[in-house]
């Protein structure tokens, strides 16, 4: 029991210390932060984000967030920079350096080299009196009084506040740029949001064979068609036009009310005037029709109103639309 208590107390202490440090960041959002944001916003080049140790890992995450929210960014490890990677920095780039202490050996070597190239330097540090802070053009103060580590050694609180300040930086830039969800989708075409913005019905219907029968098709063949195409439905067509739909539910109801099937055809079982959607419609529009009508399949038609295929609810789920 004492071991459990020790674990829980340690975890809660860590969360409390980091929570307090993050809460304190609001007091550090000032004109200096705004200046740093504007340096990036007005820059003609990219943002180069650099750091060493755990700060380098946080730098990589900030790069990913900036890139996905409209600010072109590149990660450059501070140690690698002074051993050949300094060429990553181009003429109009802004460099953001992350360092909790602001006094690491790599930073002290790197900053003069960047300044010699006349690039703007933004410091993100916990120490406003550090070498990094004093030699930067703008300062983002990511202050952490102490680490959550009981020995005040392992980077914990300090990296958490860097991460939060990085998000604040990225989203301040997002707001300035008027970056919309449509813009976000352009950078995430494979994600759920991107698919919601771009995926169309014609891309979904190609996932399956097209179930189709005529009004005169015997009911046995209708059942085989539905079973083979594995969509739980078939369209009933004449000259390419949809005249009805038969679902596996229609088949079950037919079996409950008919003992003799030999004289039944698709026309005697089908539902007329089924819901349809244009092949060029968005997948989200198909989902709306399915949900509003409490159905799981929807027939698609082309520009000439000919039958084109089936949209199934399961396809929308697989694509992350639902």
Of the candidates 145, 33, 36, 167, the residue with the CA atom closest to the CA atom of residue 95? 36
Rounded distance between C-alpha atoms, residue 15 and residue 141, angstroms: 21
How many residues would you count in the chain?
Answer: 322
**CA 310 – CA 322 distance, rounded (Å):** 17
> Three-state SS for 16?
helix
SS3 113: helix
Q: Where are the beta strands (DSSP E) in 54-185?
A: 73-77, 94-98, 120-125, 138-141
Tokens of 234: 């078939």
Contact 153, 100 (CB under 8 A): no
Q: Tell which residue, 236, 242, 234, 241, has the closest CA to residue 214.
A: 236
Beta strands in 189-256 (DSSP E): 212-213, 233-238, 241-247
Answer yes or no: is 77 a known binding residue: yes
| C-alpha–C-alpha distance, residues 48 and 95, integer Å | 5
Q: Give the bridge partners for 218, in sequence order.
A: 265
Report long-range pairs for 144-147 (Cβ below 8 Å, ≥24 apart).
144/21, 144/100, 145/21, 145/24, 146/17
Bridge-based pairing state of the strands 276-278 and 47-51: unpaired
Residues comprising the binding site? 77
| Binding-site residues for Zn(2+) | 77
């Amino acid at each position: 029991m004492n071991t459990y208590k020790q674990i829980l107390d340690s975890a809660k202490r860590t969360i409390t210390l980091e929570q307090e440090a993050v809460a304190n960041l609001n007091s550090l959002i000032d004109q200096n932060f705004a200046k740093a944001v504007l340096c990036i916003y007005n820059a003609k080049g990219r943002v180069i984000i650099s750091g060493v140790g755990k700060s380098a890992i946080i730098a990589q995450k900030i790069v990913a967030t900036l890139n996905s929210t409209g600010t072109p960014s590149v990660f450059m490890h501070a140690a690698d920079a002074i051993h050949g990677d300094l060429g990553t920095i181009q003429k109009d780039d802004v460099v953001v350096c992350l360092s909790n202490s602001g006094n690491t050996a790599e930073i002290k070597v790197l900053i003069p080299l960047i300044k010699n190239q006349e690039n703007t330097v933004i410091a993100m540090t916990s120490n406003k009196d550090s070498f990094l802070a004093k030699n930067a053009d703008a300062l983002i103060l990511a202050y952490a009084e102490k680490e959550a580590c009981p020995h005040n050694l392992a980077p914990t609180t300090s990296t958490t506040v860097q991460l939060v300040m990085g998000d604040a930086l990225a989203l301040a830039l997002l707001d300035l740029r008027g970056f919309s969800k449509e813009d976000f989708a352009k950078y995430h075409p494979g994600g759920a949001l991107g698919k919601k913005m771009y995926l169309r019905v014609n891309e979904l219907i190609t996932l399956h064979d097209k179930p189709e029968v005529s009004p005169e098709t015997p009911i046995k063949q209708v059942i085989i068609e539905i079973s083979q195409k594995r969509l739980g439905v078939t369209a009933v067509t004449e000259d390419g036009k949809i005249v009805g739909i038969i679902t596996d539910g229609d088949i079950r109801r037919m079996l409950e009310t008919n003992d003799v099937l030999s004289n039944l055809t698709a026309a005697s079982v089908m539902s007329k005037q089924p819901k349809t959607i244009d092949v060029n419609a968005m997948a989200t529009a198909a989902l709306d029709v399915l949900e509003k009508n409490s159905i799981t399949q929807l027939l698609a038609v082309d520009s000439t109103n000919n039958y084109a295929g089936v949209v199934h609810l399961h396809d929308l789920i697989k694509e992350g639309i639902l």
